[in-house]
Each structure stands twice: as C-alpha cells, then as structure tokens.
Amino acid sequence: MSYSDLQAEAVPVEPGPAASVRGRSPFRLAWARFRRDKLAVVSLVVLALMVAFAAMAPLWASWTGHPYDATFPKTALDVDGQPVGPSRHFWLGADQLGRDVLVRAAYGARISLIVGVVASVLASLLGVAVGTLAGFVGGWLDTLLARLMDLTLALPYLLVAIMLATTFQISSVFSSLTLTIIVIAFFSFAAFGRIIRGQVLSLKEKEFVEAARSLGAGNLRIMFVDVLPNLVAQVTVLTSLLIPTSIVFEATLSFLGVGVRLPMPSWGSMLGEGSDVFQTAWWLLAVPAILLLLTTLSFNLLGDGIRDALDPRSERLIGKR
C-alpha cells in the first residue's frame, strides 16, 4: 500500500448531511422508545385486531347470515331448548334466545370501543378545559371549579349514574348510547381536571412562562403556546388510561341494565344475560368476559407504554443501558 493510499484512508468521514441539523422532536424520541416496548406494541396489535373485529361486525352478520337481533330457534337451540355451543354454524355458540354470540360480540365491541374512546376523549377535553381554566386564572374561579370537581368526585357515581340513566331513558331525550357516554364522561372528568389543574399550577410558575410574560406575551398566548403543549404528554397518557376504565364503566351500566339499551348488544349486557345460564352455556359468559379482559388489559398496557415513552425520566434509564 502506497503512502497516498494511506493518506486517502485517513480522510475523515464526512458528517451526515442535513440529518444532524433537523432536531429530533420529543414525539419522535417517544415513538422510538415506544417501539422498543414489546408489551405495548403487542397491545397495540391486539387493539388493532379488536378494532378490525368491531368494524367487521356487519360483515360477520352477512357471512354467517345471522343479524345481531335475529333469533334462530331451529338451528341455535337444541331439542331441550338449550342454546348450542360453538359449532360450524355458530362459531362462538348461540345464546338462550338463539342469537349468534359471535355477531353480537362484534357489535358489542363497537359499543365498547366507541363508548370507551368517545367518553374518554370527552372527559379529557372537559377535564383539560376546567383544569386549565382553574389553574391558570386562579382566584375565585379556581375555588369554584376546584370545589365543583371535589363535589363530583364525592358523589356515589354508580347510584347517580343509574338514577340519571333511568330518568333520561324514560323520557328518551337522548339515545341510550349518547346518554351512557355523557354519564361516563361526567363522572370521569373531575379526577382528570384535578390532575391538569395541579400541572397548570406548577407550569405557571416555570421560568419560561415568566420569560414569555416579560417578552410581552398575553395570557391567551401563554396558555396556548407555553402551557398547553407541555400538557400533551400527560393528557395522552391519562386519556389512554381512562379508556379501559370507561369501557368497564359502560359494561357495568349495561350489565345493570341502565347502559346501552337492548336489543343493541353490549359486552356488559351479554355478561348480564350469560350470568343466568353460565352453568349450562359457558360461552355466553366466556366470550364477552375474555373480550372485555383482553381489551382493557391491552389499553392499560398501551397506556403504560405511552407513559414510559413520553416520560422524560425514562429516557435516562434507557440511555444508561
């Protein structure tokens, strides 16, 4: 090897172009961390499958030829009038009225996911609005809103929810689905709002807020540019952890018969019906219970994964590795 070859080799590697200039945003870093969390990724896949299962509900109905509210006394019930178990025609068995459990479970998944996501998003919007207002404005408004949230938390929520649901269902102002969502959102926002209020109170004292103020920024700008973006991580985590709670809340209400009204199936009402006959027809209880468990567990693990990914403290742990 000649001297010039060596010299050519000694030329340092050019630093990568543009790549070093573009900053890595907190969310891109979080996504990189999230992808390393196997449990969270698996949960995401399970939930994607669950969404697909729910979205395909009408397809299941047409493939099996069993609409969710149709009864099939001839094929679904045996000679003793007992529902048939999982079979070629009824993949996940039939219920005591002769309806297809698979199709009903798919429609139930729609209800659970819709109620879970919509109620949680609604609760978080309300919670962020109330919490931010209370924490940011302070004074008498803070006192008022904070006491309001305390009051909501002090209510025996199940009793009030049952009362509200029955009252409004009779007058049928809202559809039962909307009403269930509103009830769940109302009883979830207070805990959310309190956390946000605390966060806003501490953010408000941060030096960068003072810096913005000394630059001449108004309250609105400080709220939307400096305070709210710093809540995004918290809100994302809290909302994702609120979804399973809302799903269980909906199942509880439907189980008690004050949630989503029959004959629209819900996992809660399916559990309610199945609990009467589970000794002879285990699948009536097992199918909605397993689906409910899988969904809530996945949402919880996903929420934990998001928390770990967004929490700056976890960055150091990974860096140390």
Partner 1 sequence: MTGEDDVLVAAEGVVKHFPIRQGIVFKKEIARVHAVDGVDLSVRRGETLGIVGETGSGKSTLARCLTGLHPVTAGRIFFEGTDITRLSRAGLKAFRRDVQMIFQDPYGSLNPRRRVGSIIGDPFAIHGLADGAERRRRVQELMELVGLNPEHYNRFPAEFSGGQRQRIGVARALAVRPRLVVCDEPVSALDVSIQAQVINLLRDLQTELGLTYIFIAHDLSVVRYVSDRVAVMYLGRIVESAPASGLYGRPRHPYSAALLSAASIADPDEAARAERIVLTGDVPSPIDPPSGCRFHPRCPKAQDRCTVEDPPLVPRAGDPSDHVTACHFPVEPGERLARREAGIAQVSTDPDLPEAAP
SS3 call for 100:
strand
- Rounded to whole angstroms, the Cα distance separating 109 from 249 reads 14
The residue type of 60 is W
77 versus 149: smaller Cβ distance to partner 1:
149
Q: 232-255 vs 267-277: helix axis angle to the nearest 10?
A: 40
Which one of residues 25, 316, 319, 321 is an interface residue with partner 1 (CB under 8 A)?
Answer: 25
In whole angstroms, the minimum distance from the beta carbon of 16 to partner 1 comes to 13
> Counting contacts by CB under 8 A, is residue 63 touching partner 1?
no
> Counting contacts by CB under 8 A, is residue 26 touching partner 1?
yes
Which one of residues 215, 313, 316, 320 is an interface residue with partner 1 (CB under 8 A)?
Answer: 215
The site string for partner 1 over 140-179 (x = CB under 8 A, - otherwise) reads ---x------------------------------------
In whole angstroms, the minimum distance from the beta carbon of 135 to partner 1 comes to 17
Provide the sign of the torsion angle of the four alpha carbons 36, 38, 39, 45, taken in this order. Answer: positive
In whole angstroms, the minimum distance from the beta carbon of 208 to partner 1 comes to 4
SS3 call for 315:
helix
In whole angstroms, the minimum distance from the beta carbon of 304 to partner 1 comes to 22
In whole angstroms, the minimum distance from the beta carbon of 277 to partner 1 comes to 54
> Counting contacts by CB under 8 A, is residue 19 touching partner 1?
no
Please report, as residue ranges, which positions from 218 to 257 form the binding site for partner 1 (by CB under 8 A): 221, 225-226, 229-230, 232
In whole angstroms, the minimum distance from the beta carbon of 218 to partner 1 comes to 8
> Interface with partner 1 by CB under 8 A: which range of 77-85, 124-132, 200-208, 277-285?
200-208
159 versus 215: smaller Cβ distance to partner 1:
215
Contact 121, 102 (CB under 8 A): no
> Counting contacts by CB under 8 A, is residue 138 touching partner 1?
no
> Counting contacts by CB under 8 A, is residue 316 touching partner 1?
no
Contact 200, 136 (CB under 8 A): yes
Strand partners, 32: none
In whole angstroms, the minimum distance from the beta carbon of 129 to partner 1 comes to 20
Cis peptide before 263 (omega within 30 of 0): yes
Q: Which residue has the tokens 């408004």?
A: 141
Phi, psi of 100 (to 5 degrees): -80, 120
- Structural tokens at position 295: 């969904």
**Which residues contact residue 236 at a Cβ distance below 8 angstroms, ignoring those fewer than 6 apart?**
306, 310
> Counting contacts by CB under 8 A, is residue 276 touching partner 1?
no
Q: Which residue has the tokens 């999230």?
A: 34
- Structural tokens at position 145: 């809103």
The residue type of 117 is V
Phi, psi of 222 (to 5 degrees): -60, -40
Q: Which residues bind partner 1 (CB under 8 A)?
A: 21-26, 143, 206-208, 210-217, 221, 225-226, 229-230, 232, 312
